[in-house]
Amino acid sequence: MFFPYGDDNPHTTRPFVNYALIGICVVVFLWEVSTGEKGQQAITYIFGLIPAHLFGTSVPAPGLPAIAPWMTIFTSMFLHGGWMHLIGNMVYLWIFGDNIEHSLGHVRYLVFYLICGIAAAFAQSISAPTSEVPMVGASGAISGILGAYLVLHPRANIKVFVFMIIITTINLPAYIVLGGWFVMQLLSSAQVNAGEAGVAFLAHIGGFVAGAVLIFFFRPKSVRVFQPAHSRAFAVERRPYRRGSVPDAGSRRGPWG
């Protein structure tokens, strides 16, 4: 079992937009939780993306306020279904988003992020246009960031915790971490029905492909694709586990540093 917590890519600009996206998602989730179980369910059905509403094959249930279906493409990107859903998405956005923002610039990065989210939403919705299961989460847009990162930094080393008998920190190339992640999405998508509740694997795939393609058009000419690594791949640092201690992240750029 492994868990990514940073990478080896330096950047000289402060990723204000990335910070803002993370902050908005966290604040919105805290608002969701504050409304209680019934409130969270109502929020999901009002602001989540429901394909059947988007394509007009059904209408919202009476008694609930409704917003324009096209607006839920955007509102759904900032909702999450639980703490683990939120934390997993925000860690990946923290690790990979800052480098893409550095490459694109603040405004262009925000536009890129939203377009990837739109592509992800349609990839999932078109596959099940009559589904009335709401889709929520930033993972589609973040998948676009992962696709862009793989194109720009395929040999960048991702710092991951490996949990076995001891806790080991290892540098894994992005093409292994992100390429493996994408293959898992493909395999998982073949085993589920897109119209049923669960993980929106097709949104992940659609966002990832959109990001990998769009980065060629969004990147300034000065930003190269397929950039080299900045550290040695597969470098290992073993860390013995002690009850009650917290392992040092070993990087200023991890989600806790």
- Residue 249 pLDDT greater than 80, yes or no: no
CB 231 within 8 A of CB 171: yes
Domain boundaries, the chain: 9-153+172-214
Average predicted confidence (pLDDT) for the chain: 88
pLDDT at 254: 38
**What one-letter code names the amino acid at 1?**
M
| pTM metric for this prediction | 0.87
pLDDT at 257: 33
CA neighbor of 75 nearest in space, from 132, 117, 31, 17: 117
Q: Cα(139)–Cα(42) distance, rounded to whole angstroms?
A: 21
Fold held by 9-153+172-214: Rhomboid-like fold (1.20.1540)
Average pLDDT over residues 223-252: 66
Q: Cα(206)–Cα(133) distance, rounded to whole angstroms?
A: 18
Residue whose entry in the numeric block shows the structure tokens 């596959």: 127
pLDDT at 138: 97
CB 11 within 8 A of CB 99: yes
Range from 10-19, 98-107, 242-251 carrying the lowest mean pLDDT: 242-251
C-alpha angle 176/17/21, rounded to 5°? Answer: 75
Q: Cα(33)–Cα(81) distance, rounded to whole angstroms?
A: 10
Range from 124-128, 213-217, 248-252 carrying the lowest mean pLDDT: 248-252
Q: Cα(96)–Cα(15) distance, rounded to whole angstroms?
A: 11
What proportion of the chain, given as a percentage, has pLDDT over 90? 70
Reported as type and span, the H/E element at residue 6 is strand 2-7
Reported as type and span, the H/E element at residue 216 is helix 201-218
Q: What is the per-residue pLDDT across 145-186, written as a single tens digit (0 to 9) for each?
A: 999 999 999 999 999 988 766 778 889 999 999 999 999 999
- Residue 63 pLDDT greater than 80, yes or no: no
Q: How confident is the model at residue 44 (pLDDT cuts 50, 70, 90)?
A: very high
Q: Cα(137)–Cα(120) distance, rounded to whole angstroms?
A: 11
